[in-house]
Amino acid sequence: MLERLWAGWRSSFVAGKSAAANIPADAEGTLFERILATTDDEAAGIIHRGTEVSVVLNAYPYGSGHMLVVPNRGVAKLGELSQNTSRELWDTVQHAVGVAEATYSPPGINVGLNQGRAGGASVPDHLHVHVLPRWDADTNFMTAIAETRVLPEPLEESIRKLRANW
């Protein structure tokens, strides 16, 4: 029997109304540089803009509240960061963890950085750090066997909550 998982709130994504749809057509640079070139932070999924580092909501999250901490300038490797950017990056990651804890009260948090395509980076030309709230059994049958993620809240709700707690 065919099983259906209804996720009607994802219709805005399917219709092209995701953060990527809000990137200016004439924007240049890496994916994150183009996202940061927007003027509507909420529509683009931008949670925080810092001097050298910003935080965006992952448009393809592993779970609710999945943030990406990104240098404002596209660099591919940690060694390419200036000392100031490196400090701000890790200070912002630490703050993002606190925001995730305050917003979701998860029993755990994953913080991860994948460098290079072979290292698992989905955007290899722009370094980014994942901050991901985790719950017991959130990698259950649906993810492991059915290759389906079930997200309990729409991205619009996640951005609203995270921005309010930033």
Q: Is 63 within 8 Å of 134 (Cβ atoms)?
A: yes
In the chain, domain spans: 13-165
Taking only the tens place, the pLDDT of each residue in 16-38 is 555 555 566 667 899 999 999 99
Q: Which of 46, 35, 138 is nearest to 92 (CA)?
A: 46
Is 48 considered catalytic here? no
What mean pLDDT value characterizes the chain? Answer: 84
Cβ atoms 104, 65 nearer than 8 A: yes
Model confidence, pTM: 0.82
Among the ranges given (53-57, 134-138, 162-166), the one the predictor scored with the smallest mean pLDDT: 134-138
Which of 48, 66, 126, 128 is catalytic? The answer is 128
Q: How far apart are the C-alpha atoms of 83 and 79, rounded to whole Å?
A: 10
pLDDT, one tens digit per residue, over 96-132 is 999 999 999 999 999 999 999 998 888 999 999 999 9
User: Residue 50, class by beta-carbon neighbours within 10 Å (0-12 exposed, 13-18 middle, 19+ buried)?
Assistant: middle
pLDDT value, residue 154: 84
What's the CATH superfamily of 13-165? HIT-like (3.30.428.10)
